[in-house]
Amino acid sequence: MTPNTLFDLAGKVAAVVGGASGIGAAVAGGAVRAGARVIVLDIEAAAASRLASSIDAAASAGLDIRDPVAVHHALHSIVSEYGRLDIVVCTPSINVRKPILKYDESDFDRVVGLNLKGNFNVLQAAGRIMTAQRGGSIVMFSSIRAQVVEPGQSVYAMTKAGIVQLVRTAAAEFGPAGVRVNAVAPGVVETPLTAPITANAEWYNAYAARSALKRWASAEEMIGPTLFLASDAASYVTGTVLFADGGWTAIDGRFTPPM
C-alpha cells in the first residue's frame, strides 16, 4: 500500500445515506471522485436521483431510515446488484431548538426517531451485511454537541452523544469480523440544517468566532475526514470520533485574556 493508494476507493461499493444534500451530497461526490461505486440514498428520492446524475453515481433510491424494513431492503438490494457493500456513510439528522421545559412529546419523538432510531436502523442493517461478508467500514455522524452544548440543544445533543456510544459498541461487536465503525463530529457547517443560523448575521458571526479558525466549514470540508475513515488509510481505526470542528472543542470561549 502506497500513499497514493491509501485513500483510493476504486472497486469499493459505497452507500451514502442522506446523500441528496448538504454533507451527504458532498461526501457522495467525493467518494465518486475517489473511485467508489456510489449509491445515493435519501428520503427525497427525486433529489437523490438528480444528485446521482450530477456526480456520476452508480444509482440512487428513496429511503426513510426510520423504517427498518425499508433500510434492510435498500442495503440488501445493493448487495444483490453489486455483490457486496464496502462502505456505508449515514448523515441524516434534525434539530428542534427549544428549551427543555418547552419540549413536547412530538418534538422529542421527531428528533429521537430520526437521529437515534433511524441511524440505529442503518447501523444494524449495514452491520449484518458487513459482518457476514467479513469486512467493511461504517461512518456515522455525531456532532460537537455530543460534548458541548448550549440552551435549546438538549434532545439533539442527547442523540449525538448516543451516536457516539452506538459507534463504540458496534466497533466492539463488529470488530472481530473485520468491520470498522467510526463517527465524524462536525462543528458548524453551512448546510440546509443550519440555514436558520446562517440567515442570522449575529448568530452566524458568533459561531464563526467560537472556533479556532474563526469561520464556518463548508460541506466539502467534511469529505476528507469521512473518506479517511471509510478508506484503507484508516484500516486500524475503529470505535473513534473524529472531530472536524475547526478547533471548537479545543478552546474555551471567545475571550482572549491579557497575557
Q: Which residues are catalytic?
A: 156
Residue 13's SS3 state is strand
CA distance 136 to 100: 39
Residue in the block written with cell 431548538: 97
- The set of cell numbers assigned to 259 is 497575557
Local structure of residue 216 (DSSP, 8 states): P
CA distance 208 to 137: 32
Do residues 155 and 167 touch, judged by C-beta distance below 8 A? no
In terms of Cβ atoms closer than 10 Å to its own Cβ (0-12, 13-18, 19+), residue 155 is buried
- The set of cell numbers assigned to 150 is 448550549
Q: What contacts 83, CB < 8 A, 6 or more positions away?
A: 13
Do residues 52 and 59 touch, judged by C-beta distance below 8 A? yes
